């Protein structure tokens, strides 16, 4: 006998799914913002001539690029509070983990972008009396950031997919709500199919926008870094 599909239980729980999607976007957005700031800081530290800035930044970047995100999340959620004597909600743990993690990836994007700017730009900036910070802020970064946009977008999409991991520490994101609804309604096939499609639509739209932007940058003759 063929399986009778029935989406009504899923539709009935639409508000829960909507709330889950909002939470997913919240974690993505906050981690992205913090990750960009951290990434720039890590990159500037790693490019610094001072070893006490360069080495710790290198260590954090390597560790967070080299270990699985889910292990990082579990460590931050279960181990860090005991070590630091603090309490972390699942939301906070997710923000901490994903901010540092995307910061580690963004740092390498920033570094590649900054290093892709030709030396003559530094020369030009210094020749009119700019110091290092002024040259970085006014001349180097504005050019570098334009080249980094595609890599940033790609990372942001990866981050959005990675946020599903928070479901494993019981934060009510879209995937967690899906699991709840499927257990409550005994309709896992419909629920997980709908949720997979929601993820697909949201991420696909962002991907298309990213590709459009990348094409525009390519047309305007901009180099990009990855």
CB 90 within 8 A of CB 171: yes
Ramachandran assignment for 166, one of left (phi > 0), alpha (psi -120 to 50 degrees), beta (any other): alpha
Q: How many residues at the interface with another protein, by CB under 8 A?
A: 61
30: tokens are 């906050």
Using rule CB under 8 A, residue 146 touches another protein: yes
Distance between CA atoms of residues 148 and 160, nearest Å: 19
Binding to another protein (CB under 8 A): which residues in 84-113? 85
| Contact between 203 and another protein per CB under 8 A | yes
27: phi then psi, degrees, rounded to nearest 5:
-65, -40
Q: Answer yes or no whether residue 71 interacts with another protein by CB under 8 A.
A: yes
CB of 202 to another protein, least distance (A): 9
Min CB(95)–another protein separation in Å = 18
What are the distances in angstroms from CA 173 to CA 25, 53, 169, 193, 210?
A: 9, 36, 10, 16, 24
Positions 11 through 40 that interact with another protein (CB under 8 A): none
Work out which of 18, 33, 55, 67 binds another protein, going by CB under 8 A: 67
Assess contact for 32 and 156: CB atoms under 8 A.
yes
Q: Is residue 3 within the footprint of another protein (CB under 8 A)? A: yes
What is the rounded distance in angstroms from the CA atom of residue 7 to the CA atom of residue 30? 33
Cα gap 188→179, rounded to integer Å? 8
Q: Which two tokens stand for residue 151?
A: 């890599």
Q: Which of 1, 51, 86, 128 binds another protein (CB under 8 A)?
A: 128
| One residue of 12, 138, 216, 218 binding another protein per CB under 8 A | 138
Quick one: which of 6, 18, 78, 212 contacts another protein (CB under 8 A)?
A: 78
Residues that bind another protein (CB under 8 A): 3, 62-63, 65-72, 74-75, 78-79, 82-83, 85, 120-121, 123-132, 134, 138-139, 142-143, 146, 157, 160-162, 164-165, 167-168, 175, 178-179, 182, 188-189, 191-193, 195-196, 199-200, 203-204, 207, 221
């Amino acid at each position: 006998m063929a399986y009778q599909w029935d989406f009504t239980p899923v539709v009935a729980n639409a508000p829960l799914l909507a709330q889950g999607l909002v939470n997913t976007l919240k974690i993505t957005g906050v981690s992205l913002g913090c990750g960009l700031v951290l990434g720039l800081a890590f990159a500037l530290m790693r490019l610094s001539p001072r070893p006490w800035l360069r080495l710790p930044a290198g260590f954090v970047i390597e560790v967070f690029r080299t270990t699985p995100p889910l292990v990082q999340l579990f460590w931050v959620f279960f181990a860090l509070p005991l070590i630091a004597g603090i309490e972390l909600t699942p939301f906070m743990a997710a923000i901490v983990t994903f901010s540092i993690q995307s910061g580690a990836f963004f740092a390498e994007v920033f570094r590649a972008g900054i290093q892709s700017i030709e030396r003559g730009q530094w020369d030009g900036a210094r020749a009119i009396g700019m110091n290092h910070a002024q040259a970085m802020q006014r001349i180097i970064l504005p050019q570098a950031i334009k080249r980094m946009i595609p890599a940033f977008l790609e990372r942001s999409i990866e981050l959005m997919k990675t946020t599903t991991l928070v479901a494993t520490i019981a934060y009510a994101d879209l995937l967690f709500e899906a699991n709840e609804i499927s257990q409550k309604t005994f309709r896992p096939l419909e629920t997980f199919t709908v949720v997979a499609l929601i993820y697909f639509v949201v991420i696909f739209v962002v991907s298309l926008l990213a590709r459009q932007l990348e094409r525009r940058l390519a047309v305007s003759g901009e180099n990009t870094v990855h």
